[in-house]
Amino acid sequence: AQTVTQSQPEMSVQEAETVTLSCTYDTSESDYYLFWYKQPPSRQMILVIRQEAYKQQNATENRFSVNFQKAAKSFSLKISDSQLGDAAMYFCAYFIYNTDKLIFGTGTRLQVFP
């Protein structure tokens, strides 16, 4: 079965601090992509960062970076210098290239305190 697991239903962080959201996945595919999406109260999913499975180098996007451990099937998101606007639901997802399936985890609610 192809699954995505986010074991932290809720996380909190103080403004300007760093927080890490965890994600593990299970797949037998070799060609896939991994994503972190942010969903604010407006409900619109916004892509935060993307990682190609064939790349060993961890992706970074400004204050957002990932720790991709392919053998362990782990894909955590680190948010540095957290801002109030980072508060949202965060979903880990993976995309199976040969089937176009985009599968989501159950999400982590991130609260940011001033």
Partner 1 sequence: EAGVVQSPRYKIIEKKQPVAFWCNPISGHNTLYWYLQNLGQGPELLIRYENEEAVDDSQLPKDRFSAERLKGVDSTLKIQPAELGDSAVYLCASSPSRAHGNTEAFFGQGTRLTVV
Interacting residues with partner 1 (CB under 8 A) = 4, 33, 35, 37, 42-47, 50, 91, 93, 95, 97, 99-107
Whichever of 32 and 81 has its CB closer to partner 1, that residue is 32
Structure tokens at 48: 């935060």
Nearest distance from residue 16's CB to partner 1, in Å? 29
Whichever of 75 and 114 has its CB closer to partner 1, that residue is 75
Mapped onto helix, strand or coil, the DSSP state of residue 93 is: strand
Nearest distance from residue 41's CB to partner 1, in Å? 11
Nearest distance from residue 40's CB to partner 1, in Å? 10
57 with 49: CB under 8 angstroms?
no
Nearest distance from residue 114's CB to partner 1, in Å? 26
List CB contacts of 94: < 8 A, sequence separation 6 or more.
Answer: 2, 4, 25, 27, 32, 33, 34, 35, 75, 102, 103
Whichever of 16 and 47 has its CB closer to partner 1, that residue is 47
Whichever of 35 and 75 has its CB closer to partner 1, that residue is 35
Residue type, 63: R
Nearest to 10 by CA among 78, 110, 90, 88: 110
